[in-house]
Amino acid sequence: MTTITPEGPVPKRRRIALIAHDHKKDDMIAFAQTHKAFLMQCDLLATGTTGGRLQDEAGLSVQRMLSGPWGGDLQIGAQLAEGRVDAVIFLRDPMTPQPHEPDINALVRACDVHNIPCATNLATADLVMIALGLAQPDPKEIHA
């Protein structure tokens, strides 16, 4: 949605959720650094540890939720259901069982129900960002 002002159209700030399982947190930091110029123009929310690392290592301003196993995925899902999330980048570790798998499935299901883009790997995350016109990264950094 775009707001019209006397100075011209002002696009709405995108609200993006960033989530990464433990073995994917380094990948999330690299992704955030690749897309940092755009992400700095967005309202970001993330689960606990991921959000802390994005703040500390990528220098991004992030609204931190609880850690995933403590309900952070569900907090993001609730905001998504209320129409307050435009895209989800959820770097999942498919090789490691997660104790909160039902919460993860609920979040991905909410993305499907509410037609919100949900990328679960780096290649798709890059494509989602580009397809939505959210970023113009260096082509050498794209994971597709």
Is 61 among the annotated ligand-binding positions?
A: no
Q: What residues contact residue 22 under an 8 Å CB cut-off, 6+ apart? A: 49, 93, 96
Is 23 among the annotated ligand-binding positions?
A: no
Is 67 among the annotated ligand-binding positions?
A: yes
Specify whether 26 is catalytic.
Answer: no
Q: What residues contact residue 11 under an 8 Å CB cut-off, 6+ apart? A: 2, 3
Is 71 among the annotated ligand-binding positions?
A: no
CA distance 40 to 117: 19
Is 47 among the annotated ligand-binding positions?
A: yes
Of the candidates 27, 43, 56, 73, the residue annotated as catalytic is 73
107 CA to centre of own chain: 12
Query: 15 - beta bridge partners?
Result: 43
Is 96 among the annotated ligand-binding positions?
A: no
Is 25 among the annotated ligand-binding positions?
A: yes
Active site residues: 73
Binding residues for substrate: 21, 25, 47-50, 67-68, 100
Binding residues: 21, 25, 47-50, 67-68, 100
